[in-house]
Amino acid sequence: MDKIVVIDFGGQYTHLIARRIRQLGVYSEINPYKVEFDENEYKGIILSGGPGSVYASNAPKLDVSKFKIPVLGICYGHQLIAHELGGKVDPSTTREYGKTVLSVENNNTLFKDLSDKEIVWMSHGDKVTDFNEAKVYAHTENTPMAAYSYKNFYGLQFHPEVQHTLHGMQILSNFVFEICQCKKEWSMGDFIEKSVQEIREIVKEDHVLMGVSGGIDSTVAATLVNHAIGDKLHCIFVDHGLLRKNEVEDALSYLKFENLEQIEASELFLQRLKGIKDPEEKRHIIASTFIEVFEKAAKGLEQKYGNIRFLGQGTIYSDRIESADPSEEASRIKSHHNVVLPDMEFELLEPLKELYKDEVREVARQLNLPWKRHPFPGPGLAARIIGEITKDKIRICRDASYIVEEELKNAGIYDLCFMCFAVVGDDLATGVMGDARNIGHIVTVRVIQSDDIMTADWMKLPYEVLEKISNRITNEVKNVTWVTYAISSKPPACMEPQ
């Protein structure tokens, strides 16, 4: 299978580059710039953007001269190629951020089927000022070498991977198919067939243990494993009391595996979380308590079936990125919530570890699973309850979130957004119910649009939908007086409040 490797220099859009290449039907993966790789395994290399300056003493560097296959440098990568191959990079007197008009001045394969004026997205403070050996193909008002080529190297000062570059996908397509000569060989249908076969070959006659939550990741992963090995899969469903409304019933309706054990442990989790306000501490308590409950059930299964060799998990690519893997340049955004059992030895089985969220949804669709269902965080409603977790806050968060989902479905908007939910904390506001003044909680509604979970934007809901949501929450959810709407995008905000 033809592959493109994206070398990560710490850019905020690195994951988007890999995702866009996959959208073109070609497999792409991310490799940290310090990690060696075999060039012969790939048809092309893309050097990502990054926050550094190539002339700084601590800048991430890579000897690009050794590459013989096509190389595309984007932003920092564009500057790095010039810097490493004899060009010059200097600070810009006028920095470019945002939409910019690009003037294409010479015919080039990279700009095939594009016009001589294109809208592109710039985000840079440095620029290539001299690269005598290179041929310039485009410029902007402030960047004379916005695109160039030199031997097997191509440079773009702008970001073709973001949606703001109107024909960015065409540029990436030209690089992948015209320059790298890749074939379209990456599809979710092929992935399912190959994944099931691979699981079967890895597991053989052994057994697999999995924790399932009803969420799309664990459900898809468990379904693939079930297709591969049938009754040698043993699933455990732990109800920690922080699930969505009707989550247990909904999940069990499609987790129809032969060996599925349901465990009710909500009181134990709530007891352990009493008085805890720090979000990371709450995550760790939930994780450790889950491991304790899961491990007890797992040992019971081992007594019944003998040694279980594999632990299956629904880890996806964005989990690994947000847990500072695969790149040491990445910031640790949140603690990983996948299961680790310290007293039991397993080999990990992660069928989805190379997939982005929207790819997992496509697999779910092809497996006839509820693929339109919105994702749900590992710690459950704990990620949406600010401050101490109490039964009252759980009730408010659960019921308010259900109303948000219902009203978006009624308005035909639910399938257009990536996530929608309600958040509750300790902030209180004055309200008037009938003729009486009372104090109640503030509920914040969050509705997000996203293609890949790594970036997201808040959804511009019609006022009448927001009004209906607010009226229903204040009327139907006890102890709520105010409803607000979160309008922060990712970045700088995260999707979940905690």
Residue where the block lists tokens 């491990």: 295
C-beta separation of 261 from 248 below 8 A: no
Q: Catalytic annotation on 467? A: no
User: Residue type for 445, please?
Assistant: V
Question: What is the C-alpha separation between 196 and 206, in angstroms, rounded?
Answer: 15
Share of the chain residues as helix, strand and coil, in percent rounded to the nearest 5: 35, 25, 40
Q: Name the phi and psi angles at 259, rounded to 5.
A: -115, 90
Question: What is the C-alpha separation between 151 and 199, in angstroms, rounded?
Answer: 42
Catalytic residue, candidates 15, 83, 124, 159: 159
DSSP 285-310: HHHHHHHHHHHHHHHHHHHHH----E
- Chain-centroid distance of CA 240 in Å reads 24
Question: What is the C-alpha separation between 98 and 164, in angstroms, rounded?
Answer: 8
Question: What is the C-alpha separation between 468 and 33, in angstroms, rounded?
Answer: 50
Residue 211: both structure tokens together? 């924790």
Helix (H, G, I), strand (E, B) or coil at 346: coil
Q: In what order do the strands lie in the sheet with 233-239?
A: 260-264, 233-239, 208-211, 310-312, 347-349
Q: Catalytic annotation on 159? A: yes
Question: What is the C-alpha separation between 325 and 385, in angstroms, rounded?
Answer: 27
Catalytic residue, candidates 96, 118, 161, 354: 161
Q: Catalytic annotation on 207? A: no
Question: What is the C-alpha separation between 174 and 59, in angstroms, rounded?
Answer: 30
Among 204, 210, 81, residue whose Cα is nearest residue 149? 81
Question: What is the C-alpha separation between 107 and 114, in angstroms, rounded?
Answer: 10
C-beta separation of 221 from 210 below 8 A: yes
Question: What is the C-alpha separation between 271 and 292, in angstroms, rounded?
Answer: 14
Question: What is the C-alpha separation between 255 and 202, in angstroms, rounded?
Answer: 23
Task: Report the catalytic residues.
Answer: 75, 159, 161
